[in-house]
Structure 1
Amino acid sequence: MSDTDLQATILTLQLASVTTLCLLLICVPGAYYLARSRSVVKPFIETLVTLPLVLPPTVMGYYFLVLFSPNDGLGLWLRDTLGIELVFSFSGIWLASMIYSLPFTFRPLQSAFEQLPKDLYNAAALLGFSPWQQFRQVILPAIKPALYTAATLSFAHTIGEFGAILMIGGNIVGETQVLSLALFDHAESLDFQAAEQLALLMLAFSFSVVFACQWWQKQSAYVGYTSRCQVRG
């Protein structure tokens, strides 16, 4: 592996790690709230969260590029007021990754919260647990497989992202060039040996991710069934 590919690998892992951690911190409480909410705006919020699944990455990247352009609007205000430039920077590709990987973290967690039996909440309340204790000691352990699935999907999806990152981050070696962009560069320059190495690496990683998620989903189904039986017993 060349130095450029190694830089792209390290940058990709950093981006995926930061994105996954931030998404979990946001999505765990957000999905818990939305799963129990009966608000009339719930379908609208769910639509916004799910939108990145069907919106082309280049479309999202284009709007990020326009919105955060340092020449006018919000991008100009961020640059002049806070000294932040998101276009062609790590911060920019991190923000794009956060939005584009959002449904891969949020939806599994919301589904897991919704599938928990209501009797589980009642049992925790009868034990005298505070709302925070219920959430930390009862609810979170019950959805642990879903947490693993959400984190794994978010991490893997960030590693494979191409279009949105290219639009807002460009393809700057050592700054915004991730593995998918490095692979594109090799193929474009007809360096198929280097491209094959990166492609096989990402293929093996993707297979491992899908296999792990399948296993954790089975574990989640088993845990949910066990929880229902314990509550009823």
Structure 2
Amino acid sequence: MLTLQLAATTVVILLVLGTPLAWWLAHSRSRWRTLVEATVALPLVLPPTVLGFYLLLLLGPNGPVGGALVAMGGAPLAFTFAGLVVGSVVYSLPFVVQPLQNSFAAVGHGPLEAAATLGAGRRDRFFTVAVPLAARGFISAVTLGFAHTVGEFGVVLMIGGNIPGRTQVVSIAIYDHVEALDYGHAHVLSAMLLVLAFLLLCAVYWGNRRFRGVGA
């Protein structure tokens, strides 16, 4: 349940933050676009332990964010569920932003310009034209972001540790069972993730075919 809660929370946050970012990347001609794209894609090539290490330094009690929270009377985010959410959002960012960016770019300017000639405002054009046409991208973003978060190991271990009931997600529990030579429980949890991953991929392919005639 902790793993599913983490994945669901991460996907919701990524949709809120990633949708406008993907829209900007798909249409912006800013000189900063390449730098932003590289930053978004960095978790794809950066070892998870490296990312987790720097997030731990950032969110720990002596880090800029963690230290500021302590100074305000709060607690650092390291080794908490909130810290796991922060790490998951950063680590799964490209799996949500890139499908959305590609779908928004594929929509093109024609449908938006046609809606503008009919009097649709910028917000209306986005929600009534761009979003429906990018439905396939949203399906892929939600599914891949959720699945990627469920399978995290290095980042969540570095920033959250292994605290049962608080930060111990399924991937870390599997590692614990294998380390203890408890292959029975490791098989059960691994099989659950295997089935879940297969079903999520089926949902992506079904959704892409379902919206092929509608989406971009």
**TM-score, normalised by the number of residues in structure 1:** 0.89
Partner of residue 26, structure 1:
17
How far the C-alpha of 1:93 sits from its partner, in A, is 0.7
Q: Please list the CA deviations of residues 115-148 of structure 1 after superposition, one character each: whole Å capped at 9, or x if unmatched.
A: 1132111111011111111111111111112111
Give the alignment partner of residue 201 of structure 2, picking from 179, 188, 210.
210
* Preserved CA contact (<8 Å) 1:69 1:75: yes
Contact in 1 for aligned 2:103/2:134 (Cα 8 Å): yes
**Mapped contact 1:146–1:216 kept (Cα < 8 A):** no
Q: How does 1:103-122 map to 2 (within 5 A)?
A: 103-122=94-113
1:139 aligns with 2:130: yes
Query: Between Structure 1 and Structure 2, whose CA radius of gyration is higher?
Result: 1
- Where do residues 31-110 of structure 1 align in structure 2 (5 Å cutoff)? 31-110=22-101
The amino acid that maps onto 1:79 is V
- Aligned residues with identical type, % of pairs: 44
* 1:224 CA displacement: 4.5
Structure 1: gaps (5+ residues): 1-9, 226-233
Deviates more, 1:64-73 or 1:49-58: 64-73
Gap regions ≥5 residues in structure 2: none
Q: Does 1:152 align with 2:173?
A: no
- Per the TM alignment, residue 220 of structure 1 is displaced from its structure 2 partner at its CA by 4.7
The one-letter code matched in structure 1 to 2:4 is L
AA at the equivalent of 1:26? L
Q: Distance in 2 between matches of 1:222 and 1:156?
A: 26
Q: Is the 8 A contact 2:81 2:160 kept in 1?
A: yes
Please give the alpha-carbon distance, in whole angstroms, between the structure 1 residues aligned to 2:157 and 2:119.
52
TM-score normalised per structure 2: 0.95
Checking the alignment, whether the CA contact within 8 Å between 1:62 and 1:168 is kept in structure 2 is: yes
Q: How many residues align?
A: 216
Write the distance in 2 (CA, Å) between the matches of 1:203 and 1:177: 19
Deviation, 1:84, is: 3.3
Name the SS for the 1:129 alignment partner. Answer: coil
1:166 has 2:147 as partner: no
Q: State the AA in 2 paired with 1:67.
A: L
Separation in 2, partners of 1:33, 1:21? 19
Aligned AA for 1:108? Answer: P
2:174 is matched with which residue? 183
Q: CA deviation at 1:61?
A: 0.5
Amino acid at match of 2:148: H
The Cα of 1:73 is off from its aligned counterpart by: 4.0
Segments of 4+ moved more than 6 angstroms? none
**RMSD between aligned alpha carbons?**
1.4
